[in-house]
Amino acid sequence: MRAYDIIKKKRDGFELSKSEIDFFVNGAVSGEIKDYQVSAFLMAVYFKGMTERETLDFTLAIANSGDKVKTDISGVKADKHSTGGVGDKTSLIISPVIASLGIKVVKMSGRGLGHTGGTIDKLESIKGFKTELPFDKFISIAEKTGLSIIGQTGELAPADKIFYSLRDVTATIDSIPLIASSIMGKKLTADDDVIVLDVKTGSGAFMKTLEQAEELANVMVAIGKGAGKKISAVITDMDSPLGSFIGNALEVKEAIDVLKGKVKNDLYLVSKALAVEILTLSGFGDITACEKAFDSQIESGKAFEKFNEFITEQGGDLTEILSGEYKATYTFQIKSNKSGYLGKLNAENVGVASLILGAGRTKKEDKIDYKAGIVLNKKLGDRVEKGETLATLYSSNENLFRASEEEFLKGVEIIAERVEIKSKTLKFVR
Ligand code: URA
């Protein structure tokens, strides 16, 4: 078999066999197939696409290209994966709720990427919390509490690292089979029984339109089913941020407020929709029973109790956050220059504004200001009077406020008529 023939076959629009796909992916990882050939292959896939069978084989080859996370934990293991957003802290809410109902969460999460946040950075904003643990300890915490979350360790899906870095520089990122196989190739390195995908759509998401998000969700769900998983996807809106707090410690605080039943906003509703998907796929009961279970774990305090237990097991201490110390020293209020209704609050601009304050990284080696970020005083559709505060910025460096305010305001529109606010849960793909 030759890489040249495989590239040519795909370039000419033919379907590749499983052995050709395995040969190509393994060759790329071993270095026998060179970067320029891999790049040409990716471009051929970009133009000619992949059939459902090819996409599944390509994804499995990526998943099998390195280490796999194997556990002997009994019971149903479930995971939720988001394609990335602003203010998206649903993992911090869903994981303890489902763990408190007996579903096991043995999760490896990522860091923030661009203007979107990451669960690991959020957890690291909690004093003492360890996101790097020996594998045995990770598993023993998951066995004991039903929930453990660490950063990615080992050499998981090395093929994806090669493909992703080449896609980044060859204009081949936005291809549905390549995105779907990249995300699912990493997901399938874990041995979860149930996977629920939160596919974001809108200004702050990878997929800008509902149609694109639906297509991606369909392909990923088909891959998951082909790999023997119980899987579904929820398409959720990321045109405006989720919840009202953006930034690491700030997001932990909002997640705690939802877990304690103090806040019943869009964040609560999206978290509930995703958790209910996991619970139904896990065989917990019908939709009504699962919705009731979600509410009752929050109302009874059991969900927060589980969150606290998991944080404590991983060395964390919530005292600082619970006593109100989750905001950076300096504060700045963004005021509205006119009266009306908040008609647009672009998630990407808000995400970048938060990044500018120090809540994210622009380079891999950047240090995060964990208490930096934004609290939205107004949400989409709210009435705003001239001079009223739209948002409050927090940072340890007050010189960053002007640039952050400028970015934030690029994404704001105040309009005369109130817009109808739709649910952020747009569609289910099952
Ligand atoms: N996230 C990934 O992991 N891969 C992609 O290709 C796009 C988003």
Domain(s) labelled CATH 3.90.1170.30 in the chain stretch across: 330-415
Do 215 and 221 form a contact (C-beta atoms < 8 A)? no
In this predicted structure, the answer to whether residue 114 has a pLDDT above a threshold of 90 is no
In this predicted structure, the answer to whether residue 106 has a pLDDT above a threshold of 90 is yes
Q: CATH second-level architecture of 78-155+190-320?
A: 3-Layer(aba) Sandwich (3.40)
Place of tokens 């899906």: 157
Do 42 and 79 form a contact (C-beta atoms < 8 A)? no
Please tell me the distance between residue 164's alpha carbon and the centre of ligand 1 in angstroms: 8
Q: Which of 183, 184, 186, 199 to mutate to test the pocket of ligand 1 (most atoms within 8 A of CB)?
A: 183
Place of tokens 């240090």: 367
For atom 8 of ligand 1, the residue with the nearest CA is 179
Give the pLDDT score at 152.
Answer: 84
The mean per-residue pLDDT over the stretch 3-27 comes to 98
**3-class secondary-structure state, position 109:** strand
Task: Give residue 97's pLDDT band: very low, low, confident or very high (50, 70, 90).
Answer: very high
pTM: 0.96
Residue 186 annotated in active site:
yes
Please tell me the distance between residue 348's alpha carbon and the centre of ligand 1 in angstroms: 17
Q: Across the chain, what does the average pLDDT equal?
A: 96
What is the spatial distance between Cα 237 and Cα 216, in angstroms, rounded to a whole number?
15
The mean per-residue pLDDT over the stretch 287-296 comes to 98
Task: Give residue 281's pLDDT band: very low, low, confident or very high (50, 70, 90).
Answer: very high
Write the pLDDT tens digit of every residue in 167-212: 989 999 889 999 999 999 999 999 999 999 999 999 999 899 999 9
Task: Give residue 234's pLDDT band: very low, low, confident or very high (50, 70, 90).
Answer: very high
What's domain 330-415's superfamily in CATH? Pyrimidine nucleoside phosphorylase-like, C-terminal domain (3.90.1170.30)
Strand 147-151 and strand 245-246: the pairing is: unpaired
Among 182, 232, 336, 404, the one annotated catalytic: 182
Task: With residue 275 as reference, give the H or E element that holds it.
Answer: helix 266-281
By CB atoms closer than 10 A (0-12, 13-18, 19+), residue 47 is exposed
What is the spatial distance between Cα 368 and Cα 328, in angstroms, rounded to a whole number?
12
CATH topology of domain 3-49: 1.20.970
Among 22, 160, 192, 193, the one annotated catalytic: 160
Give the pLDDT score at 419.
Answer: 86
Write the pLDDT tens digit of every residue in 50-69: 999 999 999 999 999 999 99
What is the spatial distance between Cα 194 and Cα 228, in angstroms, rounded to a whole number?
10
Domain(s) labelled CATH 3.40.1030.10 in the chain stretch across: 78-155+190-320
End-to-end CA distance of the chain: 38
The mean per-residue pLDDT over the stretch 86-103 comes to 98
Looking at mean pLDDT, say which of 64-73, 148-157, 159-168, 368-377 comes out highest. 368-377
Give the pLDDT score at 221.
Answer: 98
What is the spatial distance between Cα 183 and Cα 344, in angstroms, rounded to a whole number?
30
Q: Which of 250, 286, 7 is nearest to 122 (CA)?
A: 250
Write the pLDDT tens digit of every residue in 416-428: 999 889 999 999 9
Please tell me the distance between residue 178's alpha carbon and the centre of ligand 1 in angstroms: 8
In this predicted structure, the answer to whether residue 137 has a pLDDT above a threshold of 90 is yes
Give the pLDDT score at 405.
Answer: 98
Number of H helices, E strands in the chain: 17, 13
Place of tokens 């929709």: 273
Q: What are phi and psi of 196, to 5 degrees?
A: -120, 130
What is the spatial distance between Cα 321 and Cα 74, in angstroms, rounded to a whole number?
33
Where helices occur in 125-209 by DSSP H, the ranges are 135-145, 158-169, 176-187
